[in-house]
Amino acid sequence: MCRILLFFGDPRPSLFRSFVEISRRDRTLGLSHGSGWGVLYAREGEYGLYKSVKPIWESYIDPPSGYKLYLLHSRLASVGGISPGNTHPIVYGDFAIAHNGTFRREELARELKGMGLDVRTGGATDSELFLKAFVDMGGDAEALEEVAKIAARHMDPEEPMMNIAIADLRTADAYFLTYRLVEEPHYVPVARADGVTAVASEPLDDGPWSPLPNGALAKISSGSIRVTKFIT
């Protein structure tokens, strides 16, 4: 299990520091997400990426200002060991992924390979496999819906959910999708667009965070979150 923050606009140090604290010990199950962390920051046609295999609360650095999108991820390793290549966000082509949840990787790879896709990846994570399939299938909303429906068949029963942020590095817009077989609060991401545009694994302050509906696919840009259903 992992924690995610997708944020748009000028960095809010208080929110980012709150993300560090919920990574040290989340407020839903009390888990510690110390298997490395990363932050991606992007604006149209340009991005930077910082990763550490140390826990975020031991190695956090503030990302630079002046970017449109910030994607933070703290990892609790499941598929793939602790290494820079397995630390999120992971970049492939014009997109980056941060993922919360676990797919049965071999089963997912087998189905994707049967569709004619190349399932070789640089790292060992199920998340990178998902991202590569999405990009190779077209890298648009339709491709995201298709690969998400395939991946939903291979969710680990011990973590029966997927929360996935996909950042478009060309436009600095993003998608966020969520699908849960169990409505456990730990699995339910929250969003806000009240001057702060963000999606997170759990509320980071007392602001107006709202749960994303199960089966939601959100298209997000600075100032707006447009939600549709991709699965029922």
| pLDDT value of residue 79 | 72
The DSSP secondary-structure symbol of 27 reads T
Distance of CA 118 to the CA centre of its chain: 22
Q: In what order do the strands lie in the sheet with 161-168?
A: 90-92, 95-101, 161-168, 173-180, 216-221, 224-229
The model's pLDDT over 58-114, given as tens digits with 9 standing for 90+, comes to 999 999 999 999 999 999 877 778 899 999 999 999 999 999 999 999 999 999 999
Is the model's pLDDT at 117 over the cut of 80?
yes
Q: Mind listing the domains of the chain with CATH numbers?
A: 3-229 (3.60.20.10)
Query: What does the pLDDT average to over 143-159?
Result: 96
Handedness of CA 142, 145, 151, 153 (dihedral sign): negative
Distance, CA of 225 to CA of 154 (rounded, Å): 28
Distance, CA of 186 to CA of 144 (rounded, Å): 23
The model's pLDDT over 153-198, given as tens digits with 9 standing for 90+, comes to 999 999 999 999 999 999 999 999 999 999 999 999 999 999 899 9
CB 206, CB 197: distance < 8 Å: no
Q: Render the burial of 52-90: b for 16+ CB within 10 Å, e for the rest.
A: bbebbbeebeebeeebbbbbbbbbbbbbbeeeeebbbbb
The angle at the Cα of 144, spanning 170 to 121, to the nearest 5 degrees, equals: 80
| pLDDT value of residue 186 | 92
